[in-house]
Amino acid sequence: MGTSAVKAVEMSMEGGSPVLTGFGHVDVRPGEGPEVALRELLASGSFRSTRASMGVGGQSTVVRYLEMVRMSEAELRQAIPFELQSHLPFEVDEVTYDCQALELGSPMGQEDSAQDQKHDTMTVLLAACRKDLIEERLNWVQQEGLTPVAVNLDLFALANAWELAGPAPLLTHEDEVGDGDSEPSQHKIHTERAVALVDVGAGRTSINVLMAGETCFSREIPLGGMDMTQAIARRLGVEAVEAEALKCESDGPSAEVEAAMSPVIEDLAAELVLSIDYVEHHRGVQVAELLVSGGGLLVPGAVQHLELAVGRPAHLWSPLEGLRINAERVDMEDLERWASSLVVALGLAGKVAA
């Protein structure tokens, strides 16, 4: 349920693996809420299942990575309530939360001391969401006759979609360190190669850094495609609808439109660089590439602009890669056109279907 559109996919288990058997989208019209678009979408007849998995995001959600004394899952469940208040901008009784211990490597520069302590501490992922947002979403789908079965954060749906698409994991590599013209020394710097999933929506951008398929950093950035549209509208003195059309022209935006968007992309890139620097410094990983999705950055040339600003390879990726699709029940042309915008929806549905 995005800022500009509500999108849904249906996943079914066939022959032991998930298959995409339904797909639809409806724009959120000015002056109306996403619940109106949801109602219209579900009335379209594109779906047979009545089980619903929903995503939440934005300022009502919190994600933290905590360093805690190593303990069993049962002990963690008992201990985490005492950690909550110091990590939440809300009152504890206002949120629903969950946690999970992660198997991550030692922070950069702490390898020696960590060897002795690695069994004593662990990284815990804490996720929380305000109850009123969850209850609102539950009411929306229940009013349409659906049965809610899961609520997940949009941030983690990115990782689910990446796993569903079946890409090869980035593996550990070793960088040899030599001194000048001499033979390389036996000392090795061990780094983990990670991939950053970056989903640029209309109102916000999500980044989830995965190391060996497991999240080690995630964050939402309050910048997206709407900010680019508004920048164009201000610079050219046009309405938002016309600015959006100028941004999405098939032969690419004009030089004036590019100039208007450029500061927004630079601001987004600066936030991404801060995030990448943070995770590389604290986790001892190398973010090898950015896989970009979402409808907010589909403007021709925008990903290349982002790549130069961030200083790392960046590619558009489709969550449909490696996914079985029932072409008899899905408009393949429309699906391909919307593929990059379906990462969250596919991650939400695929996890439940699997």
pTM of the full structure: 0.86
pLDDT at 212: 83
pLDDT at 253: 81
| CATH class label, 168-318 | alpha beta
pLDDT at 181: 47
Give the whole-angstrom CA distance, residue 17 versus residue 354. 7
pLDDT in tens, 212-263: 888 999 999 999 999 999 999 999 999 998 998 888 887 778 899 999 999 9
Please list the residues that pair with 14 across neighbouring strands.
Answer: 17
Amino acid at 346: L
What does the H/E/C string look like for the chain? Answer: CCCCEEEEEEEEEECCEEEEEEEEEEECCCCCCHHHHHHHHHCCCCCCCCEEEEEECCCCEEEEEEEEECCCHHHHHHHHHHHHHHHCCCCHHHEEEEEEEECCCCCCCCHHHHHHHCCCEEEEEEEEEEHHHHHHHHHHHHHCCCEEEEEEEHHHHHHHHHHHHCCCCCCEEEEECCCCCCCCCCCEEEEEEEEEEEEECCCCEEEEEEECCEEEEEEEECCCHHHHHHHHHHHHCCCHHHHHHHHCCCCCCCHHHHHHHHHHHHHHHHHHHHHHHHHHHHHCEEEEEEEEECHHHCCCCHHHHHHHHHCCCEEECCCCCCCEECCCCCCHHHHHHHHHHCHHHHHHHHHHHC
Q: What does each of the 354 residues of the chain score in pLDDT, given as a tens digit?
A: 888 899 999 999 888 888 999 999 999 998 898 999 999 999 988 899 999 999 999 999 999 999 999 999 999 999 999 889 899 999 999 999 999 998 765 444 444 444 445 568 899 999 999 999 999 999 999 999 999 999 999 999 999 999 887 654 444 444 433 444 444 444 334 456 899 999 999 899 999 999 888 899 999 999 999 999 999 999 999 999 899 888 888 777 889 999 999 999 999 999 999 999 999 998 888 999 999 999 888 888 889 989 999 999 999 988 898 889 999 999 999 999 999 999 999 999 987 766
pLDDT at 350: 82
pLDDT at 105: 52
> Phi/psi at 22 (nearest 5 deg)?
-165, 150
Torsion angle of the four alpha carbons 262, 267, 271, 277, in this order, in degrees rounded to the nearest 10: 70
The residue behind tokens 């899961």 is 150
